[in-house]
Structure formats: structure tokens, C-alpha cells
């Protein structure tokens, strides 16, 4: 398993860091790189043009749309420059609509989607990072503070035996194989099975060894509400530069109302995070 097709979201605001990271990965894996730009305002403007209550003339709407596409063209120039400098094959897509919807559709024929951390915590629930992970795609989320294309040499895998954590491990294997150090943060997911069941053990160390990956383990026992903080703290202590974890072991409503590891990590992440959902 490897990544042969990588998608990177290129929003109209500053996105050079994540494009450089995606281009670096594409070169390393020999993958084709696709940049995708989403234009939510254009979709709104086209809808407004059909609404009799909107006080905008057709000429005004067309001018605003033209300006948005001009910004997309500038984003494409940045993307092309970075991809060409990395000597990777690449192409470009532009969609009109919310970023998450555009990325999820474009990622259907991609092996990995690279997206940005949301600018505001209030945008997390419906932002690309959450929505792409929940869609079942492999997603690598790049924090706003990350400025280097180098990452993933010291990986931390947050493991609780859940279907979400297992999906994250399986889908991140190409990234884990390139790591020089892999640390498994071993916890338990409470309430996964009825008390009457005695499930067979899951040996993650053995599974990774079968995949050619040697790892070390670190145990931790914390309530779910504190797990996210613990994951980030240990990643910092180990100088980790990649976190692999399942997304939303509980429902999104529970995560946001009661708190949870996914939400905390998405809000406070300082290193790239690979997420997956089963």
C-alpha cells in the first residue's frame, strides 16, 4: 500500500505551507498531486442572482464572481510554482461550493487528502478537517503554525482498540513506514462492547511488525475528556511530528457538547495529524 494520488486543498487565503508539505509527500511517494480550490462565495452569489429579494444587479454579481476566480487563479499560480519546484506531476481543480463538499467529492479518486486546520474553533464542526475525516477518506490535517514540509519522522499513534483507531492505523501505513520512530499510545475505549462479551485481543504491535514497522509502546489511562490533551502533551514530550488517531469515537454531538479527544486535538494541534473514521 502506498499513496499514488494526493489531493491538497488550496483555499483562497494563505495555504503555501500545506501545499509545500503535500508536494514534498508527492515527490517522496512518486504520486500525482492535485490541487483543489473551493469557491463558496461564488456558489452563494449564483444563488443570490436567482433570488428576487437580493438587491444586487446581474453586473455586480458577475464582477464579484470574476474577482473570486481571479483569486483562485493566483492560488493556482502558487500551487503550480511549488509543485513544479518539487518536480511532481500535478493538475488543478476549481469547484464552486463549501470547501468540505468540494474536497470530499474530489477525494473519491485520491489516496490521501491534505487539508488545513480551521481558522476558528467555531468552524471546526463543519470545516474540511472534520467532514473529510467523517466521509471515510484518509485525511492529513496541517496546523496553521506548521511551516516545514518535513514531518512524520517521529510518529505517535493514539490507540484504543476502536474501529476508528484501527481505520486510522491501516490508512496511515505509508506514513508510518517512513517514520524513524513510531510510539503507540495505548489506551482503552470504554463501553465499546456489552459487558457479557469477551472479545479477543488486538495486538497492534504484531500487526505493525507484519507491515515492516517496529514500534514501542506507552500506556495511558485517562477519561475520554482528557485524552486529547494527553495525546498532545506526550507528542510534545517525544518531539513527535505526526499524530495518527481515529476521528470521533463518539457522535459529533457528544464530542462537541461533552468534549472529546478529536475536538481537543483539532483545536490545539501543533503538528500534522492523520485522522480516519470507520
Strand order in the sheet with 5-9: 90-95, 32-38, 5-9, 112-116, 139-142, 273-276, 242-246, 154-159, 181-186, 216-219
Same structural domain, 177 and 70: no
Residues 11 and 104 placed together within one structural domain of the fold: yes
Residue 245, strand partner residues: 275
- What are the contacts of 44-52 at 24+ separation with CB within 8 A? 46/96
In this prediction, the residues of the chain whose per-residue pLDDT falls under 50 are: 52-53, 252-259
pLDDT of residue 48: 66
pTM score, whole prediction: 0.89
Cα 122 to Cα 158: distance, rounded to the nearest angstrom = 25
128 & 252 share domain: no
Are residues 158 and 133 part of one domain? no
pLDDT of 17 reads 87
Q: Is residue 226 included in any domain, yes or no?
A: yes
Same domain for 132 and 206, yes or no, is no
Q: Does 270 lie in the same domain as 167? A: yes
The number of folded domains in the chain is 2
Distance from C-alpha of 140 to C-alpha of 178, rounded to nearest angstrom: 15
Q: Which pLDDT belongs to residue 130? A: 80
Domain region containing 207: 154-276
What is the pLDDT, as a whole number, of residue 256? 46
CATH code of the domain containing 16: 3.40.50.620
Residue 218 β-bridge partners? 185
pLDDT the model gives residue 253: 45
Choose one of 142, 167, 194: the last residue of a domain.
142
pLDDT by residue (tens digit) across 2-48?
999 999 999 887 778 899 999 999 999 999 999 999 998 888 887 76
- Give the three-state DSSP class for 234: helix
| pLDDT of amino acid 112 | 97
Amino acid at each position: 500500500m502506498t499513496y499514488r494520488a494526493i489531493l491538497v486543498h488550496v483555499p483562497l487565503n494563505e495555504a503555501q505551507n500545506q501545499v509545500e508539505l503535500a508536494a514534498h509527500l508527492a515527490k517522496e511517494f512518486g504520486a500525482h498531486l492535485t490541487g483543489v480550490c473551493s469557491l463558496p462565495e461564488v456558489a452563494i452569489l449564483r444563488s443570490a442572482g436567482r433570488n428576487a429579494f437580493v438587491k444586487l444587479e446581474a453586473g455586480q454579481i458577475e464582477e464579484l464572481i470574476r474577482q473570486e476566480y481571479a483569486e483562485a487563479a493566483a492560488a493556482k499560480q502558487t500551487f503550480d510554482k511549488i509543485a513544479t519546484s518539487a518536480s511532481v506531476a500535478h493538475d488543478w481543480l476549481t469547484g464552486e461550493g463549501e470547501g468540505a463538499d468540494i474536497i470530499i467529492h474530489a477525494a473519491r479518486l485520491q489516496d490521501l487528502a491534505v487539508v488545513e486546520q480551521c481558522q476558528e474553533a467555531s468552524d471546526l464542526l463543519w470545516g474540511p478537517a472534520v467532514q473529510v475525516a467523517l466521509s471515510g477518506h484518509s485525511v492529513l490535517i496541517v496546523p496553521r503554525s506548521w511551516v516545514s514540509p518535513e514531518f512524520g519522522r517521529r510518529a505517535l499513534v493514539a490507540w484504543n482498540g476502536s474501529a476508528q483507531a484501527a481505520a486510522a492505523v491501516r490508512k496511515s501505513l505509508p506514513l508510518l513506514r517512513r517514520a524513524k520512530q513510531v510510539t503507540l499510545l495505548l489506551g482503552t475505549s470504554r463501553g465499546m462492547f456489552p459487558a457479557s462479551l469477551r472479545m479477543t485481543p488486538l495486538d497492534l504491535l504484531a500487526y505493525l511488525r507484519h507491515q515492516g514497522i517496529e514500534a514501542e509502546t506507552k500506556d495511558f489511562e485517562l477519561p475520554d475528556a482528557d485524552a486529547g490533551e494527553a495525546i498532545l502533551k506526550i507528542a510534545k514530550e517525544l518531539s513527535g511530528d505526526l499524530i495518527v488517531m481515529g476521528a470521533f469515537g463518539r457522535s459529533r454531538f457528544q464530542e462537541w457538547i461533552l468534549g472529546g479527544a478529536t475536538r481537543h486535538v483539532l483545536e490545539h494541534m501543533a503538528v500534522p495529524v492523520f485522522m480516519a473514521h470507520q
